[in-house]
Amino acid sequence: MNLGELVRLSLQRISVSPLRSALTMLGVIIGVASVVAVVSIGQGTGRRITTSIGSLGTNLLTINAGRSANGLVRGAAGSATTLTLGDASAVAALASIRTVAPSVSTQQVVAYGNQNETVSVLGTTPEYLGVHADQVWQGSFLTAPSQDLALRVAVLGSTTATNLRLGPANLGQQITIGGLPFRLIGILQTKGGPGGATDDVVIVPLSTLQHRISSTASLSSISVSMVDGADSTVTSGLITALLRLRHHLGATANADFSVLAQAQLLQVASTVSNTLTLLLLGIGSISLVVGGIGIMNIMLVSVRERTREIGIRKAIGAKRRDILAQFLVESVVLSVLGGVLGIALGALASLVIGQVAGWGFVFSLPTVAIALVFSALVGIVFGVWPARQAAVLDPIVALRYE
């Protein structure tokens, strides 16, 4: 009996008890759907994180003030605020640096009319726009005169503008920041950075924030854009050596600042995403194994139910390999059908999740092929024992079975 005939007989047998066949395939369906959906979610998340980090700026380095330690965990924003405008100027003089944008950040209540919210207020220079690859949607950005004269002008992130119900028609009008009046001169294009934080911000001239709002001469951070082709590791080392020298730190002293490269963020995000995907894949694989056990259980029951059929087939000339092939193919067909349905269900789940999460439909053909092959292997592995049980039945005993 050829393979096509065996598959046809298997499909006929499955159609005799559709409910039992569906319940038998359920574990495989869930397992394959989980694998396809998990890989889709992992790839979609990785793509979104990469895009979000990339949107922070090209060849970006960030120098953060202070460094705190808590056991083995180190943070980049301790209580010390040791960065200065002199540090920013010194870093800008390095050959591998294109532009620097010093900044100070604080939390303030921003209000317009009867709308208000507590938001991050960022004091920075006109170079910030280029360093972080931001774009102005409406109006204009900070200028050198606004920085030199400490003018009270403000640029809003898109989320902040929406929350305060401000739009292009409101440019030139007055808002208040920490109770002080500021003139709205621009609204930034939506950027969609990590957590949307880059869109929920108010940007004012650095000199204005230092002299009129926070009264501090220190910087919170310095954003650095490297020239094309510059090595981030080498540049980070040069910046570290320069600032340690400027801050008079000894060879063994802990640095009172930290330098974080965009590439490091991408690497950490990729590692976390891959680890999470592998963890969820393991959970999905367990579902496949459970589905395989269910197939084996049903096939063993099927062998017992069809003992007389097996005896009749052997009596009219069927060999052991024929009986073995019949039950093994039936097990594989059950598993592969479950795999196909699982792929369809996983693709549907990927589509829904991608639309809700905002990264669109992500579908991996290699993953689908692997899931299909794995479901077939599940059918083979868990179908061998029941098939062998059927093949070794004594025809005389089988014919006498009631």
Query: Does residue 71 lie within any of the structural domains?
Result: no
* pLDDT tens digits along 26-45: 878 888 888 888 778 777 77
The residue segments making up the domain with residue 173 are 81-255
End position of a domain, from candidates 255, 277, 308 = 255
Q: Are residues 126 and 237 in the same domain?
A: yes
Both 273 and 361 in one domain: the answer is yes
pTM over 0.75: no
- Looking at the fold, whether 272 and 214 belong to one and the same domain comes out as no
Q: Which amino acid type is present at position 375?
A: S
- As for how many domains the chain has, the answer is 2
**354: nearest Cα among 32, 35, 44:** 44
How far apart, in whole angstroms, are the C-alpha atoms of residue 176 and residue 216? Answer: 20
92 plus 229 within the same structural domain? yes
Q: Which of 317, 320, 260 is nearest to 76 (CA)?
A: 260
Strands 180-188 and 174-177: antiparallel
Within-domain flag for 262: no
Q: Where are the beta strands (DSSP E) in 157-242?
A: 174-177, 180-188, 201-205, 221-226
Q: What is the mean pLDDT of the chain?
A: 82
Which of 255, 281, 307 terminates a domain? The answer is: 255
Determine, yes or no, domain membership for 64: no
Residues 47 and 91 in one domain: no
Domain boundary among 201, 223, 255: 255
Residue 86 lies in a domain: yes
> 179 and 130 in one domain?
yes
84 with 91: CB under 8 angstroms?
no
Check whether residue 249 and residue 108 sit in a common domain: yes
Within a domain: 72: no
| 65 domain residue, yes or no | no
CB-based contacts of 161, cutoff 8 Å, min separation 6: 167, 187
Residues 39 and 85 in one domain: no
Q: Are residues 245 and 296 in the same domain?
A: no
Quote the tokens at residue 129.
């726009």
In a domain, 59, yes or no: no
Give residue-wise pLDDT tens across range 391-402: 777 766 656 655
Indicate whether 224 and 95 sit together in one domain.
Answer: yes
Same domain, 241 and 205: yes
Q: Within a 13 Å sphere around the CA of 18, how many CA atoms are in the beta-carbon half?
A: 1
Q: Are 31 and 294 in contact (CB under 8 A)?
A: no
Flag whether pLDDT at 198 surpasses 80. Answer: no
177 lies in the same domain as 114? yes
Q: Is the pLDDT of residue 130 over 60?
A: yes
- Tell me which range, 166-170, 194-198, 255-259, is most confidently predicted by mean pLDDT: 166-170
